[in-house]
Amino acid sequence: MITIPIKTRVGHDGAIDVTVQAPPALYDKQIDALLVVQPLEANEVTLSEKEWHDKLMSFSGKINDETFKRWPQGEYEVREEL
């Protein structure tokens, strides 16, 4: 059995939209799937994709430590043209 934990939101219409990417070992196979609905505690917050992105972007450029060093990123490999 493979457990794939996700958090989602129940829409205002009561629908739960869930898309889960199955591991390749299950491709083209018949499976039994079980959906367990467990309400979150009041202090747990689930962010929408946009809210998550906006929160992540709010951290951009926020390192104020003078000793922080960004190491060299190396050279890009030269690839053949497609």
| Cβ proximity of 9 and 48 under 8 Å | yes
**Owner of token pair 């202090």:** 43
| Cβ proximity of 8 and 18 under 8 Å | yes
Quote the pTM value: 0.36
- Residue 2 pLDDT > 80, yes or no? no
| Cβ proximity of 2 and 23 under 8 Å | yes
Question: What is the rounded average pLDDT for all residues in the chain?
Answer: 84
Choose the weakest-confidence range: 4-8, 9-13, 75-79.
Answer: 4-8
- Which one has a higher pLDDT value, 1 or 27? 27
Can you give the pLDDT at residue 28? 92
Indicate the Cα dihedral angle 13, 41, 57, 20, nearest 10°: -60
Can you give the pLDDT at residue 17? 82
Instruction: Phi first, then psi: give them for residue 24, nearest 5 degrees.
Output: -55, -30
- Residue 35 pLDDT > 70, yes or no? yes
